[in-house]
A and B are shown apart, each in its own frame.
Chain A
């Protein structure tokens, strides 16, 4: 396919809409990662939580023929899975990174094992009829050219991602609990000294982050696709964590960073039709993550150097002024 066609498709409303769709399973876990990061408990297990939630949603919706039950079950299992992280780290005092890695491995192996037990297939759940969450067509707006295509016709999770970003921002900065959570992350001794229960606050943060990661997982298996594939999260839980830092540990920053990664992902989908080896194209989102994080740090350091240089110039001028007098 000629490159012009690809370019034209990138600058189309459909492409922009696809960026939003693809970003959804990044935004949701990234918000979760943000909450636990701000509470001082980095949630390495986002990936695993997404995976178990994605799996549970498909299985339960397929067996009960109820999308609602599937989603609810996915959330419950995802939150319970994150509760394991809280249990291991906060109450049994294991290292949070190791506990997170263990949970991720457990999620990968556990979902494949259960998938095989239930369907006899280790690859995917295509033999089951998974439910899909509904898409929403916004009346009137959908009739506006370009905007309608971009904004309307997304699945519930995509709209939720926007709403939840706003809600998370309100929660973190306007509510007592959110404020306590940030205080705990920044100076646990100070929080404890005014009677804030540090462990309980961090437990809440991990559970909330489990809830958001579960939504992210469900958006993968019940909206973006409507089946479960083994290891279908494909590193999104980690990219989400990267988005937290790239976004400067703020809700809207994290949201934007997740969209940047979503864009890279969408781009790789489009370029798949070019005569470039698909392996290269598939690397784009991951390479973009590395490049973005490196660029972010280079910029931060350059800013520090710039400030230092400005000061030195200013000082030299002052010295010159002093000597000419």
Chain B
């Protein structure tokens, strides 16, 4: 055998519902390398890694770890073979301390009781050895995302992992935190570990990996040395065609302010100040992008503006109409449409049909209401029209939304919100987790609405999306606006990153000058 520490041969995974997630995948990783695994959402990379970590069992195919054939029945088997996985959603117990989380399941004991001192010692030792700084006695609830991730990595190392699978580890990090992570990854490799790095950010692939494997539609397109491939080539391998890394926008015709937000403050029920003195305008015919690492108040900002949360102080108005004290319906009647961040819970009624989902904001008024009842004829007609216009792939409007793919679900929401003909459109994470085709469609629709004169407030964790769609950008950090960029085209990702992390911030005067 070669020096392949992991070798997966002809892996096929067919889910019970008939979805072929892996279709004859060959994948190998060399000892001591950083191997990037890239591909679009749904390309099958997560499934492949779940198989390697024992979370899923392959329909057919062979796996060799350190030259031995293996069949994992559960993650425990994989852990025993030295494989560890850091999941995208952190697997931590919030009320436990860092040290308690690291030793969870394998606690050091003394006379049957957990030895806390020893747990802290272990944590500090691991932390030093791998250069992953954590605060051993801090409660996880109170530490930031970057540290949480380091806790996850230490947890895996404590279990003796030699092969670390990192599932989109940078998705929640700022550019600076990402740099810290990369430094840690290099330390790990220097100490003899092997790292598999799942991502879809090509810049990171170039920066950190030795080799890269590209997957598309359940198959491996190829494995190449990172140094020998350009970003454009990799992008082509990923989507199978030239992708536009920037978006063409017609020139802007900016009108009067539609949304005015003044000194908006929101304090959560637990007393945390989530939004602090937020002030900005959104004009007709512009897309105002909100950049920021998730969890810096963007979600709450959207929910306060759409009437889903009460504001603590401040004003917000749409074309002069106060909206903060209003119910969600009144907010909508004032001309606000909302594409919510959590589409499964807040955007759709999953068991209801497409047609029903398309009328939930308007069923109570004519022509949808006829006397005490809903006019089904009108509902069906509208459904047919919107399904056509928004290219929702479905046999009919009478099927439950839950039967659609993520991209088509999002199109249902987009169809509803856009057809409400809003003055202000609030779009939160409008393309999260949907396929390339649907993403492009949604983005084009947003730009088109803006060109037609709608005011658009775009909140997205995807920095590239914010940068390519927005006319102006504001950056939120810890509930405050820390930067305003009147010309989105003139700002770099690195520059935004400094503001997103709170390293740089503009003064009130600087911001007022451009707001």
Question: Which chain A residues have a beta carbon within 8 Å of chain B's beta carbons?
Answer: 170, 174-176, 179-180, 182-183, 186-187, 189-191, 193-196, 301, 303-304, 307-308, 311-312, 315
Residue of A nearest to B109 (CB): A176
Please tell me if the beta carbons of B313 and A176 are within 8 angstroms of each other in the complex: no
**Other CB < 8 Å A-B pairs besides A182-B95, A187-B94, A190-B92, 5 of them?**
A176-B109, A179-B104, A182-B96, A183-B104, A312-B312
Q: How many A-B residue pairs have CB under 8 A?
A: 78
Q: Which of B89, B112, B271 contacts A304 (CB 8 A)?
A: B271
Given the known A-B contacts A194-B105, A308-B267, A315-B276, are A183 and B112 also in contact in the complex, defined by CB atoms under 8 Å?
A: no
**CB-defined contacts of B265 to chain A, threshold 8 Å:** 312, 315
Please tell me if the beta carbons of B114 and A191 are within 8 angstroms of each other in the complex: no
Given the known A-B contacts A174-B113, A304-B271, A311-B273, are A190 and B93 also in contact in the complex, defined by CB atoms under 8 Å?
A: yes
Please tell me if the beta carbons of A311 and B271 are within 8 angstroms of each other in the complex: yes
Does residue B270 face the partner (Cβ distance < 8 Å to A)?
Answer: yes
Please tell me if the beta carbons of B87 and A193 are within 8 angstroms of each other in the complex: yes
**CB-defined contacts of A312 to chain B, threshold 8 Å:** 265, 267, 312-313
Measured CA separation A180–B96 after assembly (Å): 11
Does residue B75 face the partner (Cβ distance < 8 Å to A)?
Answer: yes
Please tell me if the beta carbons of B79 and A195 are within 8 angstroms of each other in the complex: yes
Q: Which of B92, B106, B313 contacts A187 (CB 8 A)?
A: B92
**CB-defined contacts of A315 to chain B, threshold 8 Å:** 265, 276-277
A58 → chain B, closest Cβ, in Å? 36
**CB-defined contacts of A307 to chain B, threshold 8 Å:** 267, 270-271
Measured CA separation A174–B105 after assembly (Å): 13
Does residue B107 face the partner (Cβ distance < 8 Å to A)?
Answer: yes
Given the known A-B contacts A179-B104, A312-B312, are A195 and B109 also in contact in the complex, defined by CB atoms under 8 Å?
A: no
Q: Which of B87, B105, B107, B313 contacts A195 (CB 8 A)?
A: B105
Please tell me if the beta carbons of B93 and A186 are within 8 angstroms of each other in the complex: yes
Does residue B506 face the partner (Cβ distance < 8 Å to A)?
Answer: no
A75 → chain B, closest Cβ, in Å? 23
Please tell me if the beta carbons of A308 and B104 are within 8 angstroms of each other in the complex: no
Can you list 10 residue pairs at the A/B interface with Cβ under 8 Å? A175-B114, A182-B96, A186-B96, A187-B91, A190-B92, A190-B104, A191-B104, A193-B91, A303-B271, A304-B270
A175 → chain B, closest Cβ, in Å? 6
Q: Which of B95, B105, B270 contacts A191 (CB 8 A)?
A: B105
**CB-defined contacts of A183 to chain B, threshold 8 Å:** 93, 96, 104
Please tell me if the beta carbons of B271 and A176 are within 8 angstroms of each other in the complex: no
Instruction: List the 3 closest A-B pairs by CB distance, nearest first.
Output: A307-B271, A194-B105, A190-B91
Measured CA separation A175–B105 after assembly (Å): 11
**CB-defined contacts of A190 to chain B, threshold 8 Å:** 90-93, 101, 104
Does residue B269 face the partner (Cβ distance < 8 Å to A)?
Answer: yes
Please tell me if the beta carbons of A194 and B155 are within 8 angstroms of each other in the complex: yes
Residue of A nearest to B105 (CB): A194
Bitwise interface map of B from 167 to 194 toward A, beta carbon under 8 Å scored 1, else 0: 0000000000000000000000000000
Bitwise interface map of B from 108 to 151 toward A, beta carbon under 8 Å scored 1, else 0: 01001110000000000000000000000000000000000000
Please tell me if the beta carbons of A176 and B114 are within 8 angstroms of each other in the complex: yes
Does residue B100 face the partner (Cβ distance < 8 Å to A)?
Answer: yes
Does residue B491 face the partner (Cβ distance < 8 Å to A)?
Answer: no
Residue of B nearest to A178 (CB): B114
B148 → chain A, closest Cβ, in Å? 11
Measured CA separation A175–B112 after assembly (Å): 7
Which residue, of B90, B93, B155, B312, has the highest number of chain A Cβ atoms within 10 A? B93
Measured CA separation A308–B270 after assembly (Å): 9
Measured CA separation A81–B104 after assembly (Å): 31
Does residue B229 face the partner (Cβ distance < 8 Å to A)?
Answer: no
A206 → chain B, closest Cβ, in Å? 20
Please tell me if the beta carbons of B312 and A194 are within 8 angstroms of each other in the complex: no
Please tell me if the beta carbons of A195 and B75 are within 8 angstroms of each other in the complex: yes
Measured CA separation A183–B155 after assembly (Å): 15
**CB-defined contacts of B277 to chain A, threshold 8 Å:** 315
Q: Which of B104, B112, B267, B276 contacts A194 (CB 8 A)?
A: B104
Does residue B76 face the partner (Cβ distance < 8 Å to A)?
Answer: yes
Bitwise interface map of B from 373 to 415 toward A, beta carbon under 8 Å scored 1, else 0: 0000000000000000000000000000000000000000000
Measured CA separation A187–B267 after assembly (Å): 26
**CB-defined contacts of B114 to chain A, threshold 8 Å:** 174-176, 179
Residue of B nearest to A308 (CB): B267
B166 → chain A, closest Cβ, in Å? 14
Measured CA separation A174–B109 after assembly (Å): 9
Bitwise interface map of B from 21 to 35 toward A, beta carbon under 8 Å scored 1, else 0: 000000000000000
Measured CA separation A175–B113 after assembly (Å): 5
Residue of A nearest to B108 (CB): A176
A174 → chain B, closest Cβ, in Å? 4
**CB-defined contacts of A187 to chain B, threshold 8 Å:** 91-94
**CB-defined contacts of A193 to chain B, threshold 8 Å:** 75, 87, 91
**CB-defined contacts of A170 to chain B, threshold 8 Å:** 113
Measured CA separation A187–B96 after assembly (Å): 11
Which residue, of B87, B109, B271, has the highest number of chain A Cβ atoms within 10 A? B271
Residue of A nearest to B273 (CB): A311
Measured CA separation A190–B267 after assembly (Å): 29
Residue of A nearest to B115 (CB): A174
Residue of B nearest to A307 (CB): B271
Q: Which of A176, A186, A303 contacts B107 (CB 8 A)?
A: A176
Measured CA separation A301–B271 after assembly (Å): 10
**CB-defined contacts of B276 to chain A, threshold 8 Å:** 315
Residue of A nearest to B267 (CB): A308
Measured CA separation A170–B112 after assembly (Å): 11
A71 → chain B, closest Cβ, in Å? 27
Given the known A-B contacts A174-B113, A175-B112, A194-B106, are A186 and B95 also in contact in the complex, defined by CB atoms under 8 Å?
A: yes
Residue of B nearest to A310 (CB): B271
**CB-defined contacts of A180 to chain B, threshold 8 Å:** 104-105
Which residue, of A170, A195, A304, has the highest number of chain B Cβ atoms within 10 A? A195
A322 → chain B, closest Cβ, in Å? 9
Please tell me if the beta carbons of A189 and B273 are within 8 angstroms of each other in the complex: no
Measured CA separation A227–B87 after assembly (Å): 56
**CB-defined contacts of A304 to chain B, threshold 8 Å:** 269-271
**CB-defined contacts of B104 to chain A, threshold 8 Å:** 179-180, 183, 190-191, 194, 196
Bitwise interface map of B from 265 to 292 toward A, beta carbon under 8 Å scored 1, else 0: 1010111010011000000000000000
**CB-defined contacts of A191 to chain B, threshold 8 Å:** 93, 104-105
Measured CA separation A301–B114 after assembly (Å): 35
**CB-defined contacts of B273 to chain A, threshold 8 Å:** 311
B457 → chain A, closest Cβ, in Å? 24
Given the known A-B contacts A311-B267, A312-B313, are A195 and B76 also in contact in the complex, defined by CB atoms under 8 Å?
A: yes
Which residue, of A176, A180, A189, has the highest number of chain B Cβ atoms within 10 A? A176
**CB-defined contacts of A186 to chain B, threshold 8 Å:** 93-96
Measured CA separation A308–B311 after assembly (Å): 11
Residue of A nearest to B100 (CB): A179
Bitwise interface map of B from 299 to 320 toward A, beta carbon under 8 Å scored 1, else 0: 0000000000000110000000
